Structure 1
Amino acid sequence: MAPAELDRERVEPMQESRWFARTVQKQVCANYLLFLPPGYGDDRSRRWPLILFLHGAGERGSDLSLVKRHGLPKLLDERPGDFPFIVVSPQCPDGEVWDVDVLLALLDEVCETHAVDRDRIYVTGLSMGGMGTFALALAAPERFAAAAPVCGWGNPLQVRPEHARVPFWVFHGELDDKVPAALSAQMVAALQAVGAPVRYTVYPGVGHDAWTPTYANAELYQWFLAHRRSGEPAAGPV
């Protein structure tokens, strides 16, 4: 090869910006608690609202009884009453955080195998589960009718105009020294900036345990039932 040809083929050393996209598949699995409301199955044409509950970091592992320590699973274990929701409470493995792909696959599984009203699916969680609630609602806003993160956090830079379709009710303890309330306030401000309907409750004098008053509050569940994925107010019997 002539020297002139070598000169033409010489590449100057540099870093180029490039982008690629590829679809990948992975197997996912999860342990979870499933609560079916009283009367489930009596009317095979009836579809039920569903709450996906995400626990905190202390309940990770492979022992599902840990998931009943706090929040909605604890409440259902102690006094299920006539709670009118299907409730799905997965367990995050040790050393991991909530995986959006796993949670969406679990929702698909439950929706395919149970009488779920897909226009009334809600997500809530506490602490690490509050983070998971923000992450899941931002990753798949088209899937949820409403979201209620409790003492959680998120990335305000991930909030986009399409998230305005999801109503949020955010809860935090004023004196939380594990997850500062300022982190919830940042997410509230970012959501409000894109036009999302947001309620924000700060419990005066309360530390990290914002979940006990939140999940004991019947108004939360009434608020869930007042919202549908379509954005139209819920109508008719639950």
Structure 2
Amino acid sequence: MKKLTRTLVLLLTVSTIFSCSKNESVSTSDLRTVEDIIADFQNLVVQPGINDFALETLVNDTYWNFRVVAPADASANNLRPLVIDLHGASGGSPSAHKNTECYVETGLQALNAFVISPNAGFDEWYDSSNQQQILALVDLAKSNWHIDPNKVIITGYSNGGNGSWFYADYYPEFFSAAIPMASSYDPERGTGEVPEITVPMYVIHGEDDELFPVETTEAFVNKSRDAGTSIEFVIAPGLGHLDVCDYASYLADAVTWVQTEVWN
């Protein structure tokens, strides 16, 4: 199996050194190697359906917790897509990554994909610790499972929707499409620049979202469109921010869009 890309090795190493410099309790004797992570990932037993894993990181006794929903028929002759699903909210809920049933599994059913749902811990999705986790999991999965490397999607709800937009923005080489849901992500840089995001996006937003007003999200969509980003913007009539499960049918529509408009 392939090892992690040079980009991932560098990201892992730099992030770990940075983390250790902020936390004097982590000594060099507590550090593992990239090869340790690869070996542990390859030893995961992935069964069709739901699998919950804890993968030890480069620091001993520190883990990435994530759920994998695996297809039954993946093989060397039947490579499957990969979807990274970022959960909503933040604050360190140990079970946040397990909330996949009501809209993720249902909405993505037609895709028959590998789905990885990581746990953000106490950090935000854009923090370096989670950038390390998500990009490493994508690379590990593509290198060790029967995955089509050209069919990798990033999606998420609420805070996870913002995260999915962020990864499409900053790491376009990892993803072929992004599906932010109930999000509010300002694409403008601190310099005032709005870059073109090269990853095609399908943004879904509830008409009656109380936390992220639809007008604000629509303004961000238009700002990004004006910069050249390809975005399909869908407003879900009557949906508020807490109507998470009702997004399933809209996510299914997004899957059809990916299959017919992006991967076709």
Q: TM-score scaled by structure 2?
A: 0.67
Give 1:208 shift: 0.7
Aligned to 2:118: 90
Aligned to 2:183: 152
Matched, 1:34 2:68: yes
Structure 1 range deviating more: 172-181 or 218-227: 218-227
Q: Deviations over 1:8-31 (max 9, x none)?
A: xxxxxxxxxxxxxxx824248421
**Structure 1: distance between partners of 2:109 and 2:220:** 34
Matched, 1:53 2:85: yes
Matched, 1:204 2:232: no
**Structure 2: distance between partners of 1:82 and 1:225:** 10
The one-letter amino acid of 2:100's match is: K
For structure 2, the 5+ residue unaligned runs are 1-12, 17-57
Give 1:128 shift: 0.7
Aligned to 2:138: 107
Q: Deviations over 1:114-133 (max 9, x none)?
A: 11111110111100110111
Count matched residues. Answer: 200
Change in 2 beyond 3 A, CA 1:38/1:83: farther
Aligned to 2:207: 174
Give 1:199 shift: 1.0
**Structure 2: distance between partners of 1:108 and 1:83:** 20
Structure 2 SS opposite 1:132: helix
Quote the sequence identity (%). Answer: 26
Q: TM-score scaled by structure 1?
A: 0.73
**Structure 2: distance between partners of 1:66 and 1:45:** 30
Give 1:195 shift: 1.6
- Contact between 1:30 and 1:106, CA under 8 Å: does it hold in 2? no
Aligned with residue 213 of structure 1, among 229, 242, 246: 246
**Structure 2: distance between partners of 1:68 and 1:84:** 15
- Contact between 1:37 and 1:82, CA under 8 Å: does it hold in 2? no
Aligned to 2:167: 136
The structure with the larger Rg is 1
**Structure 2: distance between partners of 1:59 and 1:227:** 36
Aligned CA RMSD, in angstroms, stands at 2.7
**Structure 1: distance between partners of 2:216 and 2:132:** 24
The one-letter amino acid of 2:177's match is: A
